Amino acid sequence: MRIEFENQTIDFNVLYGNRKKLSIHIDSTGHITIKAPNGTTDAAVMEAVERHGARILQKLQAIENARSAPKTKEYQDEGKFLHLGKYYYLHELIETKDLNEDELKASLKKFYFNSCKKLIAERIKTYQTELKVKPKTIEIVESRTKWGSCSSDKHLTFNYRLAMAPLEVIDYVIIHELCHLTHMNHDRSFWRRVGSIMPDYKEKEEFLARYGQAMTL
């Protein structure tokens, strides 16, 4: 779901359950989850998000500022960068000879895009068969706040930085987005479906929350 607040778009998911009060949760990646009692109307959820809109935007801005903070990266042969959860010297990932820093950055980003595209294409086949779903399109994108997304028209996107994560974490994001093809919200049935394929999915979520900021260029 989404609302427009102060000329900005706030995207969020709703998780219904046996609880007395509605609460708003924003994780370290900027993902917003509204936990609401069973039977809560969409109008009530939207009103709650709008009522707390200023605080939500303030929190999202703080997360964005943290992500945008300068991080020292050594763009030289001995600089180390993540790929599939492990650190490699830059020259082990891309050709570095006779390239300046801007060219090295561009080449490394291209490497991650290509790696992610190949991994997603390979890994998604098994899980879409197991889940009996099929996305209309799949795209690799650059995003500061989302690891993956699923639109109402079955368009899936995946963050190129996933190529830096361990393979099982990549699999979790794939499963998560594929499950959205049949369950658009993060309700109980959605998480049951995710858990039926990956019972330890919470560990993968915790990994992304804890180490996601290190997975950047």
Which tokens sit at 17? 């359950």
In contact, 212 and 173? CB cutoff 8 Å: no
As a 3-state breakdown, the chain gives helix, strand, coil percent values, each rounded to 5, of 45, 20, 30
Please report, in tens digits, the pLDDT of each residue of the chain (217 residues total).
889 998 888 999 999 999 999 999 887 678 899 999 999 999 999 999 999 999 899 888 777 765 554 455 777 767 888 899 888 899 999 998 888 889 999 999 999 999 999 999 999 999 999 999 999 999 999 988 899 999 989 999 999 999 999 999 999 999 999 999 999 888 899 999 999 999 999 888 888 887 888 888 8
Q: Count of alpha carbons within 13 Å of 106, Cβ hemisphere only?
A: 5
Residue entry with tokens 């889940």: 131
Q: Name the pTM for this structure.
A: 0.67
CA 58 centroid distance within chain: 20
Which tokens sit at 4? 């427009």
- The set of residues, in sequence order, having a beta carbon less than 8 Å from that of 19 and lying 6+ positions away, is 35, 36, 37
Q: What per-residue confidence (pLDDT) applies to 127?
A: 95
In contact, 160 and 113? CB cutoff 8 Å: yes
The span from the CA of 179 to the CA of 194, in Å, is 7
Q: What per-residue confidence (pLDDT) applies to 86?
A: 87
Please state, in angstroms and as integers, the Cα–Cα distance from residue 194 to each residue in 37, 80, 175, 187, following that order.
21, 33, 7, 11
The candidate with the shortest Cα–Cα distance to 10, out of 31, 35, 39, is: 31
Q: What per-residue confidence (pLDDT) applies to 69?
A: 47
What does the H/E/C string look like for 18-70?
A: CCCCCEEEECCCCCEEEEEECCCCHHHHHHHHHHCHHHHHHHHHHHHHHHHCC
Which tokens sit at 214? 């290190």
- Produce one character per residue of 40-53: b if its CB has 16 or more CB atoms within 10 Å, e if not: beeeebbebbeeeb
Say how many C-beta atoms besides its own lie within 10 A of residue 169's C-beta: 22
DSSP per-residue letters across 171-192:
HHHHHHHHHTTT--S--HHHHH
